[in-house]
Each structure stands twice: as structure tokens, then as C-alpha cells.
């Protein structure tokens, strides 16, 4: 009786045992951006051969609520098949990439074991994977100033507000300044701040603070957009007082001394700094009881700040007059010189710019 032949029968069917995101090129801080490649690995119970003649198998991913297919790239003849997906511009997923049940599809291809048994590819869904978030949106910055215009001695508080935290990628080298300088940056996270000091002695012009495009980036590596404070109007040239003298309106002066009832008028205090190409301006000031120094800038329709600067320079000049200066006026039975009068007015929060009028020394205001 002859020996019977031995026949091997394989009735086992390869099954999909697991499928996971197993890596990504270009990922930074668990965040993917445009051009990064996500890798998905499908593991089977036994080696399978991929036949992609009719089409490549795919894994459908959920990125920000939209379906996107990762395509088979390698692994035929082994238990592990690799699928890749490249992140596109405009895709974002703050929670992380996920996929639904039975996300692996043959797409016209086949997955067979060595004896021709087709693989079972059913699989469970995968919830949001926070290790693979997606951010392809470029960060933006808004540059704000608390002042629209600046005079001599004034500064502006500048605030930089970002749509995403730039981290340590944002520093002073990312900023371009016009007609001024900036203090050291402070703050962390979405808001940074600094102080802008305008260039001195400018009679006109504008300052600005701008963040350069592409100079900073978010956590995903997306480079930032530009931002600017807009124009800040500058007038940082303080007026220069050229002269100070009594005019013909002064009456009652005797032996270089005023008494009660006499009129003391100061004229021809010139502002050497013209505004908008106007001729030099004259400040006519007048001393009167209790108010220190009062005055008006005649023939000028310019900004109030210019008149106030003229007033300030007049006070400075009068305060510089020595106490023994013969220009004195009577007050409460005694003699108070111009320097003391100016000082008294300054201590009371005076003077204010007021309409030109005659004041009599010693009269009650």
C-alpha cells in the first residue's frame, strides 16, 4: 500500500490588529504645519502582500472635521504597512488628528496572505490624538500706541498683541523704528510692551513702530505677519525765548519799582521755532497780582500744545531772573520781584494761557 501525500491547508485569515499614528516629520511641540508628513502604521496578524494594480490602499483621516486620505507607501510582505499624509496649507486641528471606524480602505487594491487569503481590515475608530495637532495659520501682531502725537519730553506706551504666543522668537531685532527709540521689551505670552521715545528737536514729522514680516513664529513654526503702530505725529522742538522786555503799556514805573495801581506789561517774548513754516511767533505776557505770569500767543491758530510750550519757556526765563532784579511790583505793602511772582504762580498751578488784557499791579484778580 503506497504512502499518502501530505497536504498543508491554511484556513487562517490575516486580520488588522492595530492602526495608529506612529510619527511625523517636521513636527514641533506636538504641532504639525504645512509640509509636515504624518505616518500611520497598520499592523496585521500575519504578513500581507499589497497589490496596488487597481489602486493604492488608503487610510481616511479626520483633520479639523475634513476627510483626508493617507496613501500606502511601503511594507508589502510584512505585518506592518505604512501610510503617509502631507499636511496642506489652510488645515488646522486644535484637538489633534483622528479617524473613524474602518478607516482603512482597499481603494481597488488587495491585501492577501501567502496563500491568497484576503485580509480582514475592520478596525475601531481613533479619537483626537493631541500629540498630532495641526496649525498652518500664520500668527499676526497688532501694534498699539497710547498716544497719537508726542511733544518734547513725552513718550508713548507701545503694546504688541499677538494672535499666537511667539515665545522667545520675538525680540527687539524684529522691530523697525522711525524717528525714535524703544525701551527694553517686557511681557510674555500674547502681549509684550515697551516705551517709545521720539527723536528730539523735530519741528514736524512722524514716528512709527513696526514689526517685520517673517521675523517671529508660533509654536508650529509658522512665520508671522507684519504689524505697525501707524503714524505718531511728532513735535519735539521746544520753543526758544529770545527776548523779554517791558513795553509802552507799562505805567507808573518809578525808580525801576512798581507800586499798587501801576501796570506792568511784558512783551516781545519770541518763539524762535515756527510751526508749519509760519513766521516766528511772539508771546505777549503780562504780570498781575496772585497769578504769577499770564499771556497769550498772538496771531497763532496752531495747536494748544505750542502755546503751552511758549508759556513754559516764559516761566523758565522769569524764574532765572535774579532776586535783586529791579523789575518789581507791589503786593500786600511789600515788593515782590518778577522771579518770586513767577514762582508763586507756578506753585499755584499757574499760569494758564488767557485772553490778552491789561492788569493793574496790586489789583485783585
Last residue in a domain, options 135, 155, 187: 135
Peptide bond into 65 cis (omega under 30): no
- DSSP string spanning 329-345? EEETTEEEEHHHHHHHH
Q: Of the candidates 235, 263, 282, which is a domain's last residue? A: 235
More confident residue, 1 or 23: 23
Q: Are 311 and 287 in contact (CB under 8 A)?
A: no
> Do 30 and 66 sit in the same domain of this protein?
yes
Q: Give pLDDT, residue 72.
A: 97
Q: Locate cell 509802552: which residue?
A: 248
- Looking from the CA of 334 toward its CB, the CA atoms found within 13 Å total 4
**Confidence grade of residue 309 (pLDDT, cut at 50, 70, 90):** low
CATH of the domain at 105: 2.60.40
- Decide if 354 is inside a domain: no
Judged against a pLDDT cut of 50, whether residue 231 lies above it is answered with yes
Of residues 37 and 353, more confidently modeled = 37
- For residue 346, name the pLDDT band (cuts at 50, 70, 90): very low
Of the ranges 88-92, 201-205, 240-244, which is most confident?
88-92
Residue 250: pLDDT over 60: no
Average pLDDT over residues 324-330: 36
Quick check: 94 pLDDT over 90?
Answer: yes
My answer on whether 130 and 149 are in the same domain is: no
Say if residue 170's pLDDT is above 60: yes
Last residue of a domain, one of 210, 235, 260: 235
Write down the mean pLDDT value for the chain: 76
Please say if the pLDDT value at position 319 is more than 60.
Answer: no
Same-domain status, 268 and 221: no
Lowest mean pLDDT of 61-75, 298-312, 318-332, name the range.
318-332
* Structural domains in the chain (count): 3
Asked whether residue 361 carries a pLDDT value surpassing 60, the answer given is no
In the chain, what are the helix, strand and coil shares in percent, each to the nearest 5? 10, 40, 50
pLDDT at 353 over 60: no
- Whether 9 is covered by a domain: the verdict is no
* Higher per-residue pLDDT: 343 or 46: 46
C-alpha cell at 215: 521675523
Could you list the residue range(s) of the whole structural domain that residue 292 is in?
A: 245-347
Q: In the structure grid, which three cell numbers stand for residue 161, read together?
A: 498683541
Amino acid at each position: 500500500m503506497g504512502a499518502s501525500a501530505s497536504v498543508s491547508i491554511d484556513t487562517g485569515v490575516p486580520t488588522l490588529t492595530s492602526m495608529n499614528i506612529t510619527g511625523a516629520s517636521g513636527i514641533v511641540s506636538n504641532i504639525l504645519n504645512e509640509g509636515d508628513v504624518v505616518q500611520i502604521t497598520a499592523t496585521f496578524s500575519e504578513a500581507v502582500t499589497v497589490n496596488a494594480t487597481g489602486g493604492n490602499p488608503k487610510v481616511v483621516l479626520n483633520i479639523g472635521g475634513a476627510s483626508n486620505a493617507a496613501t500606502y507607501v511601503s511594507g508589502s510582505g510584512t505585518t506592518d504597512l505604512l501610510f503617509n499624509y502631507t499636511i496642506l496649507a489652510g488645515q488646522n486641528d486644535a484637538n489633534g488628528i483622528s479617524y473613524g471606524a474602518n478607516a482603512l480602505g482597499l481603494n481597488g487594491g488587495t491585501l492577501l496572505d501567502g496563500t491568497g487569503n484576503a485580509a480582514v481590515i475592520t478596525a475601531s475608530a481613533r479619537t483626537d490624538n493631541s500629540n498630532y495637532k495641526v496649525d498652518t495659520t500664520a500668527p499676526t501682531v497688532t501694534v498699539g500706541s497710547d498716544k497719537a502725537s508726542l511733544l518734547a519730553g513725552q513718550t508713548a506706551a507701545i503694546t504688541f498683541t499677538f494672535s499666537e504666543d511667539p515665545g522667545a522668537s520675538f525680540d527687539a531685532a524684529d522691530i523697525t523704528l522711525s524717528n525714535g527709540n524703544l525701551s527694553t521689551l517686557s511681557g510674555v505670552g500674547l502681549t509684550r510692551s515697551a516705551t517709545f521715545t521720539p527723536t528730539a528737536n523735530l519741528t514736524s514729522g512722524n514716528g512709527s513702530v513696526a514689526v517685520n514680516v517673517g521675523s517671529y513664529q508660533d509654536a508650529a513654526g509658522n512665520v508671522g505677519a507684519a504689524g505697525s503702530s501707524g503714524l505718531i505725529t511728532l513735535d519735539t522742538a521746544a520753543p526758544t525765548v529770545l527776548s523779554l522786555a517791558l513795553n509802552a503799556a507799562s505805567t507808573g514805573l518809578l525808580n525801576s519799582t512798581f507800586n499798587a495801581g501801576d501796570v506792568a506789561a511784558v512783551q516781545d517774548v519770541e518763539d524762535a521755532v515756527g510751526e508749519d513754516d509760519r513766521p516766528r511767533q511772539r508771546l505777549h505776557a503780562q504780570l498781575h497780582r496772585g497769578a504769577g505770569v499770564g499771556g497769550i500767543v498772538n496771531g497763532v491758530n496752531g495747536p494748544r500744545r505750542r502755546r503751552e510750550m511758549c508759556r513754559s519757556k516764559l516761566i523758565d526765563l522769569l524764574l532765572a531772573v535774579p532776586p535783586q532784579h529791579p523789575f518789581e511790583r507791589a503786593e500786600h505793602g511789600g515788593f515782590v520781584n518778577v522771579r518770586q511772582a513767577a514762582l508763586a504762580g507756578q506753585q499755584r498751578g499757574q499760569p494758564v494761557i488767557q485772553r490778552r488784557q491789561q492788569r493793574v499791579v496790586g489789583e485783585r484778580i
